[in-house]
Amino acid sequence: MPTRILWAFFRRDFTIHTSYRLGFAIDLLGVFFSAATFYFVAKMVGPSAMPLLKNYGGDYFAFVLIGIAFSTYQNVGLNSFAQSLRQEQFINTLEPLLLTPVTLPQFLLGSSLWDFLYATAQVGFYLALGMVVFGLRLAEANVGPAGAVLVLTLIAFMGLGVLAAAFIMRFKRGNPVTWLVVTASELLGGVYFPVEILPGWLKSLSRFVPMTHALTGLRKCLLMGAGWGEVLPQLTALALFALAAWPLGLWGFSAALKRARADGSLGHY
């Protein structure tokens, strides 16, 4: 039964999204132009930057492409639950849906399946485009540890996404969780530049940003062939983030849901 429920959510979202083919074309073009932009930006990065990139293979294009590609998972993890919730409220199906045998975890997981699959396709296109068109090399990639880093990254950001959905449930608009995490990741997460370039106090703060550990681990594995032991600090940090984020997210969402049911605002948008 749980599998059938999850499949029903996935099939619904797949049908909706694939009915807008122009959207797919625009997304693919967006990936291409984003990769091309940073390819030419990388041309301006001179030898003076090489010491900062030595832990990541020394190639700025490879460094930044992995940053922008895998930050897609952060965006999906933070926004998928909240967007699905707003959509259900907008079309006035949230309250009837929650009166069915669908449990809260099934609703949260089912409503995000398609988004995560689509994000995976986008990441794959980024990497394929980088290798075929722009000369990205991943010959030393160690897929096993990279996969473990990615899974823990998804789990951590999904927990934060549940907390973000709690704010949407309660306040309808305004999402401080997403704003804070995205803003911190852009400055401190190492998406566009190594965190080593930051001043000491900001570098210390970057340790409290999940994206910092996610991208460090992924770059080590994909660009330097790092093994399990070499990414153990990143795996540990991401596991701790996940362990903290999920209980907080579920508590916040349950409290927001209870409040919405009590004041009759569950279906309001």
pLDDT digits (tens, 9 = 90+) for 25-39: 888 899 899 999 999
Report angle CA 89, 30, 187 to the nearest 5 degrees: 80
Buried/exposed code over 122-147 (b: 16+ C-beta within 10 A; e: otherwise): bbebbbebbeeebebebeebbeebbe
Helix (H) or strand (E) holding 55: none
Is the CB of residue 198 less than 8 Å from the CB of residue 188?
yes
Which residues of the chain fall below pLDDT 50? 1
pLDDT of residue 162: 86
- 232-235-237-240 Cα dihedral, nearest 10 degrees: -130
Is the CB of residue 246 less than 8 Å from the CB of residue 162?
yes
Which is nearest to 189 in space by CA: 205, 178, 170?
205
The ranges assigned to domains in the chain are: 2-263
- Give the integer Cα–Cα distance in Å for 116 and 7: 14
Would the pTM of this model clear 0.75, i.e. be above it?
A: yes
Phi then psi for residue 186, to 5 deg, are -65, -35
Helix (H, G, I), strand (E, B) or coil at 135: coil
- Give the integer Cα–Cα distance in Å for 64 and 43: 12
pLDDT of residue 78: 83
Is the CB of residue 145 less than 8 Å from the CB of residue 231?
yes
- Give the integer Cα–Cα distance in Å for 67 and 186: 10
Residue 64 corresponds to which tokens in the numbers above?
């930044």
Phi then psi for residue 183, to 5 deg, are -65, -45
Q: What percent of the chain has pLDDT over 70?
A: 89
- Give the integer Cα–Cα distance in Å for 105 and 89: 18
Residue 40 to residues 43, 48, 136, Cα–Cα distance (Å): 5, 17, 13
